[in-house]
Structure 1
Amino acid sequence: MARFSHEVHMRWSDMDAYRHINNSAYLQYLEQARMAMFFHRHEGFSSGTVVARHEIDYLRPVVYHPEPLRVEMWIEQVRGASFVVRYEVFDGDSLAARAATKCVTFDFAIDRPRRLTDEERGMLRGFADDAGAEGARS
């Protein structure tokens, strides 16, 4: 599996009244990590993407500390105009959450989804596991 790993720092303000990281902060962590992956080796997508869906399974509470969380990501379900980013969020060696984001490639000039380009497909394949890369559809 060709995972991309990125560290995200928690903020003191990410804690809730129960003294653990609030669930809403995870969306920001996932976004930071996803953008780091998209721009790691490439300039991103030609016209952009929009988020169609988020799923997060919280496996254990995370209490604020200054060390960053590690987010490991990979790509699955590459379709004509969409793909899924999968995540595992680690607090030290402990798996704290699993998540997925469905992204849709989008042309903002015409306000409609658009097909993935060959260059974008190639970038996504670089982060796909073997089954995901073979299952990618045009």
Structure 2
Amino acid sequence: MTQTETGAADTGAAEPRRHVHLAQVRYADLDPQHHVNNVRMLTYLEDARVSFLRYGGAVEGDEVFGAMVVARQEADYVAPLLPRSEPVRVELWVTEVRNASFTLAYEIRDEATVYLRARTVLVGFDVPTQRARRLNEVERAFLADYA
């Protein structure tokens, strides 16, 4: 389940538009300590990222987004995510757009708690040459809506 929202900071300043993906915590996601395993949390980020790119047309065949590869990913685990019946929110937004790459920031959260903060750097990728490529204007325009 996916939705897109725009938020405003407590200071009244506008925050970037956020793409929201709802992730259902499953029993298989739990580790022996009975909280969501750290690797599964990264899978929630991947699901949100794919949802975001699909929202931008990447998987629908209209070629809005070309191929992308993950160049860097970092995560700060802020609080344990315990089993729950309601989905958890994975919010993402764009923090930087460069010539051939862009950075996404994420929070896995609910109304009261942030469980994880993360960043992923994605690089445009040319599959035939197996090399980085520049982002095109359509990609840049879509990303700018979330920056």
In the superposition, the TM-score normalised over structure 1's length comes to: 0.87
Bigger relative contact order, structure 1 or 2, given CA contacts below 8 A and separation 6+?
1
Percent identity, aligned pairs only? 39
1:94 pairs with 2:109:
no
Equivalent in 29, 33, 40 of residue 25 of structure 1: 40
What amino acid sits opposite 2:88 in the alignment? L
Q: CA RMSD in A?
A: 1.2
Q: Contact 1:62 / 1:91 at 8 angstroms: preserved in 2? A: no
- Which residue is 2:79 aligned to? 60
Residue pair 2:53, 2:65 contacting (<8 A) in 1 also: no
Whole-angstrom CA distance in 2 between matches of 1:66 and 1:5: 18
Q: Which residue is equivalent to 1:72?
A: 91
Give 1:118's aligned residue: 137
Following superposition, the deviation at residue 6 of structure 1 comes to 1.3
Partner of 1:107: 126
Partner SS, residue 4 of structure 1: strand
Deviations 1:53-84 (A, max 9, x none): 11110110011112111011110121111010
Alignment: residue pair count: 127
Give the Cα separation in 1 of the matches to 2:65 and 2:19. Answer: 21
Q: Where in structure 2 are there 5+ consecutive unaligned residues?
A: 1-15, 59-63
Task: Give structure 1 stretches of 5+ with no counterpart.
Answer: 129-138
Equivalent residue of 2:118, what SS?
A: strand
